[in-house]
Amino acid sequence: MSKDRPAPEAPQPLFPLVDAHTHLDACGASDAASVRKIVDRAAAVGVERVVTVADDLDAARFAVDAANWDARVYAAVAIHPTRANVLDDGTKAEIERLAGDPRVVAVGETGFDFYWPGKLDGCATVPEQEEGFRWHIDLAKRLGKTLMIHNRDADQALLDVLREEGAPDTVVFHCFSSDAAMARKCIDAGYVLSFSGTVSFKNAKALREAAPLVPADQLIVETDAPFLTPHPFRGAPNEPYCLPYTVRALAEVRGEEPEALARASTVTAERVYGLRPVSG
């Protein structure tokens, strides 16, 4: 993401949409007023609800606060796999307390990131990530909440751990970026795949081949803002209001009408996160 590129202009509205994974704090929100401004911009183009996601303890506290400040915001809390080495007893206790808040709709993002160990100072090792992932799986099952997966270069390892632990009733692969073979395995297991701006990237050939395989009731959409801004704005700051760009790109790849995909993804997001239906 480059600070030199201006933010994308607002897309043509597309109703109704749920941004299934964003980071409002990283988008610049710090209090109720700034959360409201970001969500107002999103609502103006049809993104009526957002799930703001934590990757560390401070972000988890903020996510729960944001979800209680604005009824259009929901939260997901966990410790990101690259930070799993901070999961001591005190951190686990606070994540568990936060995850029990009624405005928290998922435990996440958790999982595996095999890209950063050895490249990023202080990054959790793979064994530390695995220990953290197994703990988050157990937490999601104990609380009866959706499990939100982060996956980078770890397809089979994730599937193996989910099988060994026994997956929660609902599992979301956030920012699905794998190929058709992995998509089929996830579909067969009943997991939900969430698509971000990466599906609009012309060089994401394997992902664009996988996208049409996913049944509508196992597909949701996200921004992962402020990251992964869709084409042709790649590298510019992302925000939930940009989601219609991704949905239109995904609809083109799937050979569907954007309006139909928007409605279907919202119905699925409502089920996955236990949101009150507002879609027609």
Check the annotation: does 231 bind a ligand.
no
Confidence of residue 137 (pLDDT cuts 50, 70, 90): very high
Q: Where are the domains of the chain?
A: 23-273
- Going by the DSSP 8-state scheme, the letter that residue 237 receives in this structure is P
Q: What is the pLDDT of residues 138-183, one digit of tens each?
A: 999 999 999 999 999 999 999 999 999 999 999 999 999 999 999 9
With a threshold of 0.95, does the pTM exceed it? yes
DSSP letter string, 187-215: HHHT-EEEE-GGGG-TT-HHHHHHGGGS-
Cα distance between residue 68 and residue 106, in whole Å: 15
8 A C-beta contact, residue 69 and residue 32:
yes
Counting residues of the chain whose pLDDT is more than 90, the rounded percentage is 97
Check the annotation: does 136 bind a ligand.
no
Cβ atoms within 10 Å of 170's Cβ, excluding its own: 20
Check the annotation: does 222 bind a ligand.
no
- To the question of domain 23-273 being in CATH 3.20.20.140, the answer is yes
In this model, does residue 49 exceed pLDDT 60?
A: yes
Continuous segment of H or E residues that includes residue 128: helix 126-143
